[in-house]
């Protein structure tokens, strides 16, 4: 059962960051690849970790001032989305999250109204990374409503179509950028900022952002 969250500065010398702007063609030296749309920020949307502006502030209004003693009525609950530490992203009528299953780490799309799983897409290897034996995914997927971006605990990074989970492109933070694997595994969530996706692999093959 799964639980139903800082914008970068433009200062000089932010080493080891990659900026992606999606053109679905070849990767430029700074890996600029083109999002289909700008990031949605309407009330009720939570399209990436810590919300539309990555500040943890919701634009929802009309919330209860006094909550029932037993909490609000349960709308639905779901199982089968895997295990891990990932939170959820909410865009339109979809919920996106990541979890470990017997097949590895999976990105899961659910119907926002009833919790039904709509599709799953294999992100990469599952299991525990480094010390502690903590199994499961760490990061939260991000979506602009057209595409979904996710990172697994072993450094796999991919983009899939939000409608059906079909893979668009894939990268590996270790193999492609020389990123050192953190002892606790990769836990960074992709940052969507306008038409860019930003990651910080920290490897020598990743370009700097000046």
Q: Is residue 205 part of a domain?
A: no
* Arithmetic mean of pLDDT, 80-89: 95
Rg (CA), the chain: 17
Q: Is residue 179 part of a domain?
A: yes
**210 against 165, higher pLDDT:** 165
Q: Is residue 71 part of a domain?
A: no
Q: Is residue 69 part of a domain?
A: no
Specify whether the CB–CB gap between 54 and 48 falls below 8 A: yes
pLDDT in tens, 102-135: 999 999 999 999 999 999 999 999 999 987 888 9
pLDDT in tens, 141-155: 999 999 999 999 999
**207 against 137, higher pLDDT:** 137
Q: Is residue 60 part of a domain?
A: no
**pLDDT at residue 192 greater than cutoff 80:** yes
| CA dist., res. 182 & res. 201, Å (int) | 10
Q: Is residue 206 part of a domain?
A: no
Q: Into how many domains does the chain fold?
A: 1
pLDDT in tens, 153-169: 999 999 999 999 999 99
Specify whether the CB–CB gap between 87 and 140 falls below 8 A: yes
Among 10-14, 16-20, 39-43, which stretch is predicted with the lowest mean pLDDT? 10-14
Q: Is residue 63 part of a domain?
A: no
H, E, C per residue of 61-79: CCCCCCCCCCCCCCCCCCC
Q: Is residue 65 part of a domain?
A: no
**pLDDT at residue 22 greater than cutoff 60:** no
Tokens, residue 195: 């038409």
Torsions phi, psi for 106 (to 5 deg): -130, 140
Domain span at residue 116? 18-53+76-199
pLDDT in tens, 28-72: 222 223 233 334 456 689 999 999 888 999 888 888 888 899 988
What's the half-sphere exposure (Cβ side, CA atoms, 13 Å) at 207?
12
The whole-number pLDDT of residue 13 equals 33
Report the CATH number at residue 140. Answer: 2.40.10.480
């Amino acid at each position: 059962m799964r639980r139903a969250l800082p914008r970068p500065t433009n200062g000089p010398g932010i080493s080891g960051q990659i900026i992606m702007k999606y053109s679905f063609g070849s990767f430029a030296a700074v890996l600029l690849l083109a999002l289909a749309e700008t990031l949605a920020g309407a009330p009720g949307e939570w399209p990436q970790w810590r919300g539309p502006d990555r500040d943890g502030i919701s634009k929802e209004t009309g919330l209860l001032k006094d909550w029932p003693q037993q909490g609000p009525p349960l709308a639905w609950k779901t199982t089968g989305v895997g295990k891990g530490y990932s939170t959820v992203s909410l865009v339109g009528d979809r919920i996106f999250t990541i979890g470990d299953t017997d097949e590895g780490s999976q990105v899961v799309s659910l119907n926002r109204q009833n919790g039904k799983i709509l599709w799953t897409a294999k992100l990469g290897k599952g299991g525990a990374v480094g010390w502690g034996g903590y199994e499961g995914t760490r990061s939260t997927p991000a979506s602009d409503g057209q595409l979904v971006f996710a990172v697994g605990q072993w450094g796999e990074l991919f983009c899939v179509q939000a409608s059906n989970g079909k893979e668009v492109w894939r990268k590996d933070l270790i193999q492609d950028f020389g990123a050192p694997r953190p002892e606790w595994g990769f836990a960074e969530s992709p940052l969507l900022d306008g038409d860019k996706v930003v990651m910080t692999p920290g490897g020598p093959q990743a370009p700097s952002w000046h």
